[in-house]
Homo-oligomer: A and B are copies of this chain.
Amino acid sequence: MGYYHILKQAEAVEYARGIEGVFPAGAQLTSREIGDGNLNHVFQISDPASGRGLIVKQALPYVKVVGESVPLTLDRVRIENEALRIQDELCPDLSPKVYAYEQELALLVLEDLSDHIVMRRGLMNRGRYPFFGGLIGSFLARTLFFTSDLAMDLQEKKQRVKAFINPELCNITEDLIFDAPYKKSRMNIFEPHIRDAVERIWADTELHLEVALLRDLFLTKAQALLHGDLHTDNIFIKPDSMKVIDPEFAYYGPMGFDIGTVIANLLLNYSGQEGWSTDAQERIDYRRYLLDTVSDLWTQFELQFRELWNGHAADRMAKTRGYQDLYVARLLQDTIGFAGAKMVCRVHGFIHVADIERIEDAAARERAQRIALQIGTALIKRNRSARSIEELLDIALKASEDESERPSAD
């Protein structure tokens, strides 16, 4: 089984059966393929009798985009495996267990999380997860702090930077998030009804400068081991648990990128509320819940990050008076900027989000897109001068109010 080949379902089942201590001997295993098969084949292998299950995930040596197959390194599975093990060590309750990693086959066997749902779907159903801010705040604080120079031996950290050099996957982010949305490009997909807003973005040189600066941070600031793709499809959730999956984009980058990605996805759902309820009060209430969640997330993150710093900083210089405050202040600015960039690219970039895309009513969808673009561009422009998370909340609030006051085209 050693050399790379695309696993047939029966092979995946036998592979899963070989994992020790999961399935009873002679179990009648069932299997189904989940996921879209664009990047990976993912099999869910279950034993209905014992209720046990595993995920077998094999990376494909290409990514399918708009009908084409573009080669993509299998090394991303090594990265994902190593990142998952580090995240599991730091946040055992918030990460799926890794049962096996087979380099030659670009294969991971993972904990089955099918008792959870994809958080994006949860939000689209107006689910409320009051513990989410604390849990994701903790995940961010612990994974970012403990992989940074603040907590690590400085030489070990450099070896880790080396192990997580991830050029091909970073390149996807560099192109799709920090470049294509700001110019005419075949990578920009958007509906004609927002062409005026998109063209304003293409012409907005003040915005472009901020994006260039954020992109420079993404390219050069080796601050902590990032998840790298922390949107709400990669967060699994249920009332009493949250798990973060799929860190194949992991690399050493600016902490604010991960925090900003989570916030961006909450605000994309916020924008999408335009289309998910016809009841104005329900929209207002759920949006309030989402903004409270953003606020809670940042507050919990900051609290835990500072506690870790005060209790676990390995670096003597970390105790320098004023350093922590300035570090956190810059972290907030990066977070706000990256949150904005992540929003813009999900509206008229290459990969959209269901929270907005799946709105059936065209006028509501358009309003949602405009709100998201307004928030995204305002956050990008605000990033370097931002002083508090309240500014971000105000920007979001104003965008939804502006849109509700905008004269209808009808």
Contacts and interface: CB of A to CB of B under 8 A. Distances in A.
Interface of A: 149, 154-155, 157-159, 161-162, 165-168, 170-171, 174, 178-179, 183, 205, 208-209, 211-213, 215-216, 219-223, 316-318, 320-323, 326-327
26 contacts: A149-B216, A154-B167, A154-B219, A155-B167, A155-B170, A155-B171, A157-B219, A158-B167, A161-B161, A161-B165, A179-B316, A179-B317, A183-B316, A205-B321, A205-B322, A209-B320, A209-B323, A209-B326, A211-B317, A212-B320, A212-B323, A215-B317, A216-B327, A220-B221, A220-B223, A221-B221
Contacts of A222: 220-222
A204 to B, nearest CB: 10
B149 A159 contact: no
Q: Closest 8 interchain pairs by CB?
A: A155-B167, A212-B320, A158-B167, A162-B165, A205-B321, A212-B323, A209-B322, A149-B219
B149 A171 contact: no
Main secondary structure of the interface of A (DSSP, over half): helix
B179 A158 contact: no
B154 A159 contact: no
Given A155-B167, A158-B167, A212-B318, 8 more contacts: A149-B216, A179-B317, A205-B320, A205-B321, A209-B320, A209-B321, A212-B317, A212-B320
Q: Count identical subunits in the complex.
A: 2
A370 to B, nearest CB: 25
A164 to B, nearest CB: 10
A207 to B, nearest CB: 10
A56 B212 CA distance: 45
Contacts of A209: 320-323, 326
A170 B155 CA distance: 8
Given A167-B154, A205-B322, A322-B205, A220 B149 contact: yes
Nearest to A316: B179
B167 A213 contact: no
Nearest to A174: B154
Contacts of A149: 216, 219-220
A198 to B, nearest CB: 18
A213 B320 CA distance: 10
A168 B154 contact: no
Contact of A317 (B166, B178, B220, B223): B178
A159 B165 contact: yes
Contact of A326 (B162, B178, B183, B213): B213
A102 to B, nearest CB: 24
A179 B165 CA distance: 28
Nearest to A327: B216
A208 B165 contact: no
A320 B211 CA distance: 9
Nearest to A161: B165
Nearest to A215: B317
Contacts of A322: 205, 209
A98 to B, nearest CB: 24
A171 B159 contact: no
A158 B178 contact: no
A369 B92 CA distance: 54
A237 B89 CA distance: 54
A194 B132 CA distance: 56
A244 to B, nearest CB: 23
